Amino acid sequence: MDDIANSVSDSCFPQIIPNITFQTVNNKCIVIVEVYPGFSRPYYLKSEGKVQGTYVRVGGTTRPADAMKIKELELEGMNLSWDEQICIGYPVEAETVKKLCDDITKYMLEAAVSEEEKRMVKPVTEQQLLNWKILKKTESQLAATNAFVLMTGEHFPFAKIQCALFKGTDRDIFIDKKEYGGPLYKQIESAYQFVLRHIDLSAEIEGIVRKDAYELPIGAIREMIVNAVCHRNYLDNACVQVAIYDDRLEVTSPGMLYGGLTLEEAMSGRSKIRNRGVAEVLSRMEIIEEWGTGIRRIVKRAAEYSLPEPEFLEIGDSFRVNLYRYTSEKPIKADKKPIKLERERMILQYIEEHESITNKEARELLGLAESTTKRILKDLVKQGVLCEQGERKLRKYYLA
């Protein structure tokens, strides 16, 4: 036992002191070596050095850590969050700061249930962004953190969500695909709407009230996307991916579970925040509710819909959630009529708020191709719901 303790201590840096005990099992002495997660990461083999001698567990295998993973371990060891670090050279403009403050305030107001709660919401200020470490002051000047950049622009090329609808149950034939960039909270909403456009929507009549219901719990859909965006590793050169198949909704997030967290611990509700600044803003916006409850909420919503139990997987250096649809002998096909009605409703609501809509505005609203958007608008004109004015690119549609 002493030899094992000395070998571990002499071979690794920073020093690791294992807990070594023994038990007698079937008249045999079994030596038990336990190594608990440490805070001075990364730990590596002295003989190989930090770059070559740092290893990570991926599933049931041990692999050399790449430069990106070592960087994340170093930040973790210093109790630093990458998104709270200053983004060198990124300008902080007053208009951008105001826009972010206004958007956070808007989300807070929308989340307030009663008029009394709305009155209690105070406009978010620049000082609050400083308190939340979204902005920092250096030599009396404002500096942008990576969290501020993620919430206001498209500076990081892989900080995006890729969405796709596939035919069948594997990644072979695309039916539709979109890529969303920009502020994270807008990405989340766009990806969420993409999923809703491509899953079944049914209607039930209760008395004189019509109730629309999607085939998958919308709370679980949003939770899957929000968790992927909030907890992903932004040092990883990969995008969050949202994929819809005939049998499931699949959301994949770059980065393994953070801080030595195991899948079993995550399932039990334990959480470690990888991106503290991003989580802070999304929490203030009420986009995430309580840290650590996301996985259990997904499981609960699926159970309420009598769906198969969701699947949570660590695949390589990424994390994946599968929410399964109702199974049947034939592949599930979306009911086109409810989807069409939902798209028309979105257009009419936009016109009520903005008086008119162009093909480009409708295309961005629905996330569809120009030809498809034009066909929907023309159908509404034929139905007598809309009227059109202007030629080609200048054409606008109004309520008839």
Residue 334 has pLDDT above 50, yes or no: no
- Return the pLDDT at 328: 45
- Considering 84-93, 289-298, 311-320, the range whose residues carry the highest mean pLDDT is 84-93
Residue 368 has pLDDT above 80, yes or no: no
Architecture of domain 336-399: Orthogonal Bundle (1.10)
More confident of the two residues 121 and 390: 121
The contacts found for 124-130 with CB under 8 angstroms, 24 or more apart, are 124/284, 125/101, 126/97, 126/101, 128/101, 129/97, 129/100, 129/101
Do residues 200 and 338 make contact, with C-beta atoms less than 8 angstroms apart?
Answer: yes
- Return the pLDDT at 290: 58
More confident of the two residues 327 and 253: 253
What mean pLDDT do residues 356-362 have? 89
Residue 332 has pLDDT above 90, yes or no: no
Structure confidence at residue 335 as a pLDDT band (50, 70, 90): very low
Structure confidence at residue 139 as a pLDDT band (50, 70, 90): confident
What mean pLDDT do residues 4-30 have? 91
Question: Where do we find the tokens 């054409």?
Answer: 395
Kindly report the average pLDDT of the chain as a whole number: 87
- Considering 126-135, 166-175, 328-337, 348-357, the range whose residues carry the highest mean pLDDT is 126-135
Residue 154 has pLDDT above 80, yes or no: yes
Could you tell me the residue ranges of all domains in the chain?
2-76, 84-152, 161-324, 336-399
- Return the pLDDT at 356: 92
What mean pLDDT do residues 323-352 have? 70
Residue 339 has pLDDT above 70, yes or no: no
Mean pLDDT is lowest, of 23-37, 101-115, 383-397, for: 383-397
> Is 161-324 a CATH 3.60.15.10 domain?
no
User: pLDDT tens, 215-246?
Assistant: 999 999 999 999 999 999 999 999 999 999 99
- Return the pLDDT at 192: 95
As a whole-number percent, the residues of the chain with pLDDT over 70 amount to 92
Structure confidence at residue 329 as a pLDDT band (50, 70, 90): very low
As a whole-number percent, the residues of the chain with pLDDT over 90 amount to 52
